Structure formats: structure tokens, C-alpha cells
Chain A
Amino acid sequence: MTNSTKIYGWGRYPQQDAYLHAPTSCASLELTAKQQNSVLARGMGRSYGDSANALNVLQTTYINHFIEFDKVTGKLIAEAGITLREILEVIVPSGWFLPVTPGTSYVTLGGAIASDVHGKNHHSAGTFGQHVESLSMLLGTGEVVTASPQHHTDLFHATCGGMGLTGIIMHATIQLLPIRSSLISQKTIKADCIEAACEAFESNSDATYSVAWIDCLSKGKSLGRSVIMLGEHAEQGGLNIDIRQKVSVPFSTPSALLNSSTMKAFNTAYWYKAKHSVSQTVSLIPYFYPLDAVGEWNKLYGKKGFVQFHCVVPKLDGVASMRKLLTEISNSGEGSFLAVLKQFGIANENLLSFPTEGYTLALDFKASETAIKTVKKLEAMVVEMGGRLYLTKDAVMQENTFKVTYPNWEKFEAIREQYGAIGKFSSTQSKRLGLA
């Protein structure tokens, strides 16, 4: 392997040179991993910052085969490099759906587990890892083991949400969710400030899916105005899936196109376009993956890319915390056109899993020195509030923030030590955060 390639996450910031290895089978993956001193498995490269960046990268996307799918029980076994999109294509027509899905289907199964991703049903279904029955893993020792809630329990809980730092997931068994229809009954609620939005989440906690688009640029009385979208799986309407991608952003747009005026205009238009308390039926794909319809939308932020700030703050004083964060964000005037607010349910046992009970906020900032300053300021506020940042979105978090807000990190390191992961699996992010 002689040539290095520029790699980067979905935010296109930061970028680095890496040696890419692309094994086509589990056998060649084992061999390639053995030959390298330190490696990191990388799937679709959809984590935003540098958590899938490393000097030696094992690209898993060719290891993307289904192994078994039981249409009666909804148990699915597949290799880690398969994308959720490919899984949907096969399972939806048979009346099954992913028990938890992130906002894009262009992630791999292994990546979804390593990030312990969450979706619009976190308050009721928890994270993706909570629906994983077992994992087949390649350890740093070269050994292949099965980790599950019953076997190698410690390894299992370190791996779900473990950012690929405990070993390489080769295949996984997951339990799917039965559905009767591929349609979603959606209800929209408009909340004219952050307090009203949090109240709406609270009073609709029995909804299966809930998420809000939040206007991060509005100030004063309408600070944090939101459009909350509730969803339920419909009972009728057939089991169809249309996953064709419609349009694509062909190249990085001049980044000046996304400035505070255009973003403000977009947010205002979005707010006035939404209708309060309207119910409608929508297809599963546009409901869960609205942005997947625009290929490579990350290029909209221009060549320098963007950073995402994705935090959770505890439920206690959660509304007040959100108000403080939103005030800071709207004063900076830099928040982007796409911000998301959601209420999380209780945390799980996975050591580095992000969600904890409270409110979560995610928004993009076009990469610039001032934006990174703003993000760092917000980071300090979140630490103060007892919240934390999502490793999968992070590109700039400080070591100290990580160690304070993820208090299980020492336990995580002990398990990595025990299973031979230290020195063998690392990322640019893990080094920045002070993991061995």
C-alpha cells in the first residue's frame, strides 16, 4: 500500500491523509488488520468530525452481505459494512422496519452500532445497540469472539457506542420491528418558543416518534420556536419502498451562499410554511430520511465544510439550559438552516453511548474560526449544565470535557486493555480525547 488518500467525515472538516485498505471478505479483513500496527474500521464516513479518521483505515463497505433474514421472526444477520438503506430495501416489503434509525440511511450497520445511534423514538425504544442481539468481533489479539448481552457482556457494552475502539465488528444480529404499512401518520405541532416546544414533547411522550425542527436564529419572544413532528406507523397503505435518490449536489457550492441572511430567510419561511395541528400520511423514506433525497448535501457548506454541535442537557432545568444555549446561538448569528430538537428517554448501559435523559439539540455551523469559537463556548456551557456532546458529531471537543462528561471512560479503557484493543484500534478523535 503506497498511496495515501485524503479522508474526512460528513462535515468535511477536518481532513487528513490516510492509507485505505478495502478488504472484500471477513477473511481478508482479519489478514489486513493483522498486518497493521494500528487501524480503525470505517464505513460510509458519515460521522461528522474525525471519529472515523485515522492513518490506517479499514474500509468495511465491501463487506456488506446479508447472512440470514428470518421473515417470520424479524431476526436479521448481516455483515457490518451493509448500509441501513440496503437493509430497508429488503426488510420493508416483508413487513419489517429498523427498531431504531438515525436521520440518514447511508450509514453502515457497524457504524450504527459503534455510534450507538438514536432516532426519533429514543424516548420509547432507546438506542440502536439496545436491539442488537449479538456481535461477531475481531479483537486486537486477532481472535474472533461473539459479544452479546449474555456473553462478553463488558465487551458488548463497550462496543455499542464504542466508536470502533474496542475491535472490528464483522457481523451483527439485530431484532427488527414489525410494521403493517410503509406509511407514517404524521402530526405537526407549532410551538412559538422553546418553553412551548419542550412542553409539547412532554405532553406527547406517548407518540412513537417525535422530533422538532427548531429555528436557532430567532430571538426574543420567539426564541426557540419549533415545528414538532409526531409520527406513528400507519396500519394500512401497503409495504412499498422507493429508495431512488432524486437530486445530488454536484460540487461544493460557494460557501457565501449560506450566510446569515439566507439562513434566516430559510428558517422564517420554514416556520410560516408549517401548519399547526395538521395530520397527514407520508411515506417512510421521506419521513425518516428527508435529507437523503439530496445527495451530498454536505457540499452546500462550501469547501471548508462544517462542524456540528450536538449536545444533550439533563431534563432537570432542561428548558432553562436550552434557553441559555439558544440565546448564545442566536446571538452568534451563525447557526445553520437545519437544527433539530428532541427529548431523550433514559440512558442505557453502554459505556460511551451519548443519549441521557433530557433535551438534545443539534445544529451545523459553517466551518470558520469564529464558528469553532462559538462551538467551544457552547461546549463549556454544556459541561456546566451537566450535559455532554455526541462523539459521532464531534470534531473539536477537548479532552477534559470528554473525561468529565463521559465518566465511564476509565471503565471503557480497562475493557479495551483486557481485550487487546489498546494500541491496535484508535482514531484521530480518540487520540485528541486522551484515550490510549
Chain B
Amino acid sequence: MKRILIIGSTSAIAEHCARIWAARGDALHLVARNEQHVQVIASDLNVRGASEVTTYCIDLNDTDRHEELLNVADASLKGIDIVLIAHGTLSNQKSCELSVDETLQEIQTNALSTISLLTLIANRFEAKKSGTICVISSVAGDRGRSSNYVYGSAKAMVTTFTSGLRQRLHKSNVSVVTVKPGFVDTPMTTEFKKGVLWAKPTTVAALIVKAIDKNKDEVYIPRFWQLILLIIKVIPSQIFKVLKL
């Protein structure tokens, strides 16, 4: 039985990871903003076989409460083996372009709040010399594109931060897993036209759990995104800037 802290547990991807862990009989501590929603998920995970489910409600931009969040999680789970950080918002690029406040808010939610959590968790895991930290970043962080560079740059920060953290914590026996999903068919993306590049949250979740099981470093989910991003990254800026992506 693993003791798992899930931050942003009402996100579709996090919820499906939680279902896999529940079926394995793991103990789960769910952190989310919406009390009613997280309670529904908690009851569900109980039925699906979780050995224990506890919850904690917080707006994750309230970074002053992050220490307390971790103390409660640690007490509820009696020690933490795995942390999954999955919260975030899908930024509206167009309205960000018109508003400094909104742009900074998106960076706060998608990057800074995660950095705050990672800083605190890293120190705890480094001290006890064990644990796995999994962060959901995005393929959008690999190269800025006009259609979503605010979100993308926030994710780029997360990817770079976790890369450094992985090096630092390696000698302390702590794994840092950075997952970069491509297009995921979630409630957030219902309006989008879906093509072959789209993956179901169940598929994405299964691959994330597998990456955690295998202590992977940085994974594209599904794998084919690695090839797509490889191509996108080598396009010279002279050409890239005129592309519509």
C-alpha cells in the first residue's frame, strides 16, 4: 500500500490516476478547491477500493497555507510516499494578451504555486531520503507558440524547475517525474474539435501511473508527442515565427 498525496485532485487526469491507485488499495489524501466536488470523488474512491481517503480544501494560490497543507497530508497519511501535482487552469491566451493581471494570474496558478509546493516537498523528501514527486507539465512548455504561450511559458518554468530538482534530489533517493501530456479530452476541452492526437484521460492517467511506478524522469504522454516536439523544437526561428501553430 502506497500513501499518496494528490494536489489538484478534481482535475480529470488526477482523478483517473486516483482511481487506478484506489483499485490497488492505496491510501489517498485529496487536495482541491471545491469542497463538494472533492467529497464526491472521495466517496467514489472509497468504493473503488482505496484503503483510506482524506481531503483538504484550499485555493492553491494561497501559498502561505502550503506548509499547513503538507503538515495535514503528512498527518493524515502517516507519511507520504508519492505526491502528484496536477492542478492548473487552461489559460485563455487572447484575454491574457489584453490583461497584465490575467497573464500574471495564469503564471501564478500554473507555475508559481507549483514551485512553492515543490520547494517545500523537496526539502521534506530530501530529509527523509525517499519519495516520488510527479508533476504534470505540458508539451506546451517545450516551445512557445502564439496560440498559448502564456500557459506554455508557465509550464516551461515547471519543466525546467523539476529538471534541476531531479538532479539535486537524485543523490537523496528521491525521484522527480515530469510528465508532459499532449491534447487530453477532458471537460476543459469539450469545445475543441478532436482528432487522432487526442488522448482519453484514462489513457493518460494509466501512463502517468506507469511512469511513477518505473521512476521515469521526463515522459511525453502518449509517447508520440516526443517525436512531434522534437520536430517542433528544431524548426529554425526564422521559419517558426511565420508558422501558424
Contact = CB atoms under 8 A, between A and B. Distances in A.
Contacts of A68: 43, 47
A21 interface: yes
A2 B191 contact: yes
Most A-side CB within 10 Å, residue of B10, B12, B37, B194: B37
A21 B44 CA distance: 23
Interface in B1-46: 10, 12, 23, 36-37, 40-41, 43-44, 46
Contacts of A1: 191
Given A25-B37, A90-B48, A67 B43 contact: yes
* Interface residue SS majority, chain B: helix
Contact of B43 (A2, A22, A59, A65): A65
Nearest to B191: A3
A36 interface: no
B49 interface: yes
A24 interface: yes
B47 A66 contact: yes
B190 A22 contact: yes
B145 to A, nearest CB: 20
Interface string A57-93: 0010010011111000000000100000000011000
B187 interface: yes
B89 to A, nearest CB: 14
A284 to B, nearest CB: 18
Contacts, number: 47
A109 interface: no
User: In the complex, which range does the number of interface residues on chain A fall in?
Assistant: 20 to 34
A229 interface: no
A3 B40 contact: no
A27 interface: yes
Nearest to B190: A22
A90 B49 CA distance: 8
A68 to B, nearest CB: 7
A4 to B, nearest CB: 9
A21 B190 contact: yes
Given A24-B187, A25-B36, A65-B40, A3 B192 contact: yes
Contacts of B41: 65
A25 B40 contact: yes
B193 interface: yes
Given A20-B190, A24-B10, A66-B48, 19 more contacts: A3-B193, A22-B187, A22-B190, A24-B12, A24-B37, A25-B36, A26-B40, A59-B190, A62-B187, A65-B43, A66-B46, A67-B43, A67-B44, A67-B47, A68-B43, A68-B47, A69-B47, A79-B40, A90-B49
